[in-house]
Structure 1
C-alpha cells in the first residue's frame, strides 16, 4: 500500500514541478492507485472488526473477569463460600465496590436523598449554624468620628452522628443455585431498596434519631388546601433558594392539587416531562411519596437537609434461619443520620383536619 501512495505523490509532485495540470493519463493512473489503497484499507478494517468479534479463550476469560475480583468473591460468598470475604464480628464486610453500588442505588431509588446534601463518611460531623433571628450582624451608614454600633451574630451547632440501620433481604436458594442468575445485582437492589424506603420515611417524618422535613421551623397552617396557601408557602422561601426548590407531598395531596384552578380556570398543576415525576406546581417540580404525611406539604431547596450515610456496608448471611423456607437471609447494616442544617431553605404547609399518617 505504501508503494501505491508513493506513486500517487510522485504524479502530483511531477505536475506541480512542471507547473502544469495533471493530464488524463495521470488522472486515470492516480484514480486506479487510489482505488487499490481504499480496497486495502477496507480489508484491514474488516480484519480488525473480525478480531473484535473472535476472541481467544484467554481474551474471553479476561472479559469474563471484568467483574472485579471483589465482585466475584462477594457472589461466591453469597453462594455459601464463607472464605470469599473477610468476616468481622457482625458478619462479612462488603467490598468497597459493592458498597458503592448499594449506596448509589439508594440515591437512585430515593429522590429526596439525592436532592439533600450528602456526606458518605464515617464519624460524627458537626456543622456551625448561624442564628440570624435573635441576633444578626448588620451594616448601616456611619458618620465620621462616631461609634459603630456593635452587633454580634450567634452560632449554634448541628451534629450528625451514627445511628445503625439494619435491613433484611431474603434470597431463594433456587435463585442462588442458578448460574445464569445475576445474584450480585439482585442482592444490591434488594438491600438498596430496603435502605432507601427506610431512609425516605426518616428524611420526611423523622423527629427522634434521624430528623427530617417534619422538623422544619417555617410552618404555615391552613384550614383547607387552596391555591393561595400554596403560593404563600412558596414565598416563605427567599428568592435565592428558589432555583433548586421542589415540592414534596403525599399522593392524596397531589390528587387534590390536581383539581385546583386559578382565577382564569387554569389548572395549577402542569405536565412537566423534564423532571422525573412529570409534574410542576407554580413552576417548580413535584415529587410525591407515600412516606409523606397527608396533612403536610413540603417546599424548598432540599440541600438544606444534611444526610450522613457511610459507604461501609456490613453484610451477614443467615444460612439456617430461613432454611425451612428454602432461602438465605442477607442482613445489611449501615450508619445513617440526618438533620436540617440550613433552615432558611425549607418551608412546610400543614393542613388542619387532614390525616397525619402517610398511609
Structure 2
C-alpha cells in the first residue's frame, strides 16, 4: 500500500509539473505577444523586469538545447555557466601573450608561477531579433507559444553561429571567432589532394588526435571528387540512422555549414583542428526577451529581441595552435 501511495504521489507531482510548465509557457507567449498584461503574466509565473520578460527555465532550456544541436562550436567546444557578467579565466600555455585590442587592459592577462597564461572571457549583452506576422498568431493551427519560441530560437541560432564562426560584423565583432583567431595556413603544395593532406598534417599530434573539419559548401565541393593515390575517395559519406548523411575527410569527421564565410562567395574555407579549445561563457541566470511593438508595426509584424550574456572565443597557446584555417579562392 505504501509503495502504491508513493507511486501515486510521484505521478501527481510529475503531472503537476508538466501542467505548470505548459501554463507558464502559454503565459509567456501571450505576454510577449500582447494578449495579456504584465499583472496577469506575473500572476501566472512570468518574471518581468523593466519591460523585459525573463524566459522561463523550461523554455530557455528548449532554446539553448536547439542551439546546442545546431551550433557545432557548442557541441565540440566547452560551455561554462557563470552568474552575471563576471569574466571567466581560461588557462593556456605560456610563451607569447596574444596581442589584444587596445580596449582590453593588458593587466587582465596574468601569468602564474607555472608560466600559464589566463585569458579572460568577457561576456557582452548579446541579442537577436526575430519577427512574426500578426495574422499568423490568430489564423495558424499551430499554438501561439510554439510559433513564438520557434522564431526566437531560429533567429538566435543564426546570430550566435555567425558571431562565433565569423564575428566580423560591426555590431557584433568577436576577436576570438574562428575567422579572426584560427591560425592561417599557407600551403606549399599546389596539387588539391596534397594541399588538404598538408593541412591535415599541420597540427601537433595532441591536436590531431581530437581533430575534425568545419567547412563551407564551396570547400565540400572542392574535395568531393578528389582521389587519393590508391584510388580511394578523399571524402566519404556515412548514412545516419536519422536519414541524414555524415562526412569524413581523410579519416576525420567533417561538418559543412553555410555560415562559414570566405573573402568571396566562391572561396573554399577549411577549419581543421581540435575545437575543444573554443570556450563559451554563458549567463547561468537565463535569457530575457523584449517585445518590439512599434518597430515592425508598419509591416503588421511583432518583433522579439532575445537577450543573453555571452562570450565565445577560440583560445590557444601560440606554441601549439589548435585550429588552422585555409582559404582556397
TM-score between the two structures when normalised by the length of structure 1: 0.68
Partner of residue 282, structure 2: 309
Single out whichever of 226-235 and 97-106 deviates more from structure 2: 226-235
Partner of residue 129, structure 2: 168
Partner of residue 297, structure 1: 270
Partner of residue 54, structure 1: none
Q: Distance in 1 between matches of 2:184 and 2:27?
A: 51
1:85-104 alignment, distance < 5 Å: 85-89=46-50, 91-104=52-65
Question: Does the Cα contact within 8 Å between 2:68 and 2:74 map onto a contact in 1?
Answer: yes
CA RMSD after TM alignment:
3.0
Question: Does the Cα contact within 8 Å between 1:304 and 1:345 map onto a contact in 2?
Answer: no
How many residue pairs are counted as aligned between the two chains? 277
SS at match of 1:195: helix
Q: Distance in 1 between matches of 2:140 and 2:224?
A: 48
**Rg larger in structure:** 1
Q: What is the aligned counterpart of 2:177 among 212, 218, 221?
A: 212
Does 2:92 correspond to 1:129?
yes
Partner of residue 4, structure 2: none
More helix by share: 1
Question: Does the Cα contact within 8 Å between 2:53 and 2:288 map onto a contact in 1?
Answer: yes
Q: Distance in 2 between matches of 1:289 and 1:82?
A: 41
Seen in structure 2, the aligned counterparts of structure 1 residues 347 and 109 have a Cα distance that, compared at 3 Å, is closer
Q: Deviations over 1:74-108 (max 9, x none)?
A: 12213411321333225222222222211111112
Question: Does the Cα contact within 8 Å between 1:319 and 1:329 map onto a contact in 2?
Answer: yes
* Structure 1 gap ranges (5+): 1-60, 135-151, 355-359
Q: Distance in 1 between matches of 2:218 and 2:191?
A: 12
Question: Does the Cα contact within 8 Å between 1:248 and 1:299 map onto a contact in 2?
Answer: yes
Question: Does the Cα contact within 8 Å between 1:226 and 1:260 map onto a contact in 2?
Answer: yes
More strand by share: 2
Question: Does the Cα contact within 8 Å between 1:203 and 1:338 map onto a contact in 2?
Answer: yes
SS at match of 1:221: coil
Seen in structure 2, the aligned counterparts of structure 1 residues 259 and 166 have a Cα distance that, compared at 3 Å, is same
